[in-house]
Amino acid sequence: MAREELGSDQVRRTLRRLAHEIIEQAEALEDLALVGIRTRGVTLAERLADNIEQLGDIRPPVGALDVTLYRDDLDRGGGARVRLQKTALPFSCAGKDIILVDDVLYTGRTVRAALAALVNFGRPRRVRLAVAVDRGGHELPVRADYVGRNLDVRPDERVRVFLEESDGQDAIIVQDSPNFKKFRYSPGEIETRAEAPEESS
C-alpha cells in the first residue's frame, strides 16, 4: 500500500515557501546557484529556480550532480544497478553560495558524497542543503537547512517524491516495502489522508 502525505497543491506551495526562505537568507542573489542531486533533485532545483525567479527577479543557475562515483557503498552492489549519469555544472562553484537540492534526506550518505563531489568543481563560499522531505534516520551528522516536510516513517517504509516532469504528477508518497521497485505513480493505488493535512504541518 501507499499513502499520500502531500498532494500536488501542497507540493507547489511547499516549493514556493522554500524559495522564499532561500531568498530571505541569501546574502546576494547574484551569487546563488542551485545544484540538484540526480535524478529528482535536479527537477526540484529547476522548480526552485523558477520560483526564485518569480519572487526575486533573478534566476540562479542550476547544475546537476551525479554522486554515484563518490558513494561509499559500491561494494554493496551499487555498481551495476545504479545507472551512472553525467555531472553537469554550467558554472564554477568558486565563491558561489550553493544550495544543494535533493528529494529525500535519509541516511545522509548521498549528501556526504555530494559534498565530496562538489569541492572538485571549485571552492564554494557556502553550501546549504534543501530537501523536499527529511525522514529522519540520519547515519551521519548531516542536517538540512531548508526542509519541505519532516516525516516520521518506519525504517521499512519508503518515501517517494513524485514530480510532474518525470512522473506526471506532483505528490509525496509513503510506500510499504513490498512495492518498492514496481511502484509507479497511479492514483488508484494511493490512499489519500483522511485528516486535514493542515493539522500535521
Partner 1 sequence: MKPEPFQRKDLLSIRDLSPGEILFLLDLTDSFREVNEREIKKVPSLRGKTVVNLFFEPSTRTRTSFEIAGKRLSADVINITASASATKKGETLRDTARNVEAMATDVVVVRHPASGAPTYLAAELGCGVVNAGDGMHEHPTQALLDLYTIREHKKEFAGLNVSIVGDIARSRVARSNIVALRKLGANVMICGPSTMLPAEAESLGAEVTTNVDEAIEWSDVLMALRIQLERGAGTAFPSAREYAATYGITRKRLQGAKRDLLIMHPGPINRGVEMSPDVADGPFSVILEQVEYGVACRMGILYLLSGHRGEESPPDVGGAEEPSAGEKAGERRAKDAVAH
84 lines the binding site for partner 1 (CB under 8 A): yes
Q: In what order do the strands lie in the sheet with 158-162?
A: 158-162, 171-175, 2-6, 190-192
Residue type for 169, please? Q
Residue type for 52, please? I
Q: Which of residues 116-135 bind partner 1 (CB under 8 A)?
A: 116-117, 120-121
CA–CA gap between residue 164 and residue 175 (Å, rounded): 19
Least distance to partner 1 from the beta carbon of 74, Å? 5
The secondary structure of residue 114, as a DSSP letter, is H
Least distance to partner 1 from the beta carbon of 159, Å? 25
77 lines the binding site for partner 1 (CB under 8 A): yes
Least distance to partner 1 from the beta carbon of 96, Å? 15
Q: Which is nearer to partner 1, 1 or 94 (CB)?
A: 94
90 lines the binding site for partner 1 (CB under 8 A): no
66 lines the binding site for partner 1 (CB under 8 A): yes
Least distance to partner 1 from the beta carbon of 89, Å? 9
How many Cβ atoms are within 10 Å of 168's Cβ, its own excluded?
Answer: 12
Phi-psi region of 39 (alpha: psi -120 to 50; beta: other; left: phi over 0): alpha
- Return the SS3 of 41: helix
Residues binding partner 1 (CB under 8 A):
66, 68-71, 74-81, 83-88, 116-117, 120-121
